[in-house]
Structure 1
Amino acid sequence: MPDLIEHAVLPARRQVPAKTFQARLQAFLRRLHTRKGLVGLNESQLRDVGLSREEALEEIERPVWRLWGG
């Protein structure tokens, strides 16, 4: 009986280039830092960036994993 492992077709493993991963990680960390910075802005500063207090709070409360993809 032939060895089944030799004939198994495995899905190709998706390789993410290190450069792409590093760029995504940097973008993630930048978004996390920016999001945390919203907490300290006053109403006038929020208006300057085009956000209301409610919108800023919604952004701050978004789950952290939603920052990864954009």
Structure 2
Amino acid sequence: MEPVVGYYISSVHHLPTITIDGESVWVVSCTYQYVTSNGQSLSGTNMVTATIIKHGEHQQHVVTINQNTHETWYQ
């Protein structure tokens, strides 16, 4: 079963608060990628990629969030 990824990005700090299955996680690093449209059929996108550690674990995971569609991916 896929974990449920939740997030909130503060407009003040620009650091996301991320939850996995309702539990908050530590954000180790975070990057933002802005891809502009090519002026044709492809629209631009706004992605956030965060490296996280779940509480009680030592393994890092990666969360990617498409801020336009609100799709999330968890690895």
TM-score range, shorter chain: under 0.3
Q: Which protein has the larger Cα radius of gyration, Structure 1 or Structure 2? A: 1
Q: Which has the higher strand share?
A: 2
Q: Which has the higher helix share?
A: 1
Q: TM-score, normalised by structure 1?
A: 0.22
Q: TM-score, normalised by structure 2?
A: 0.21
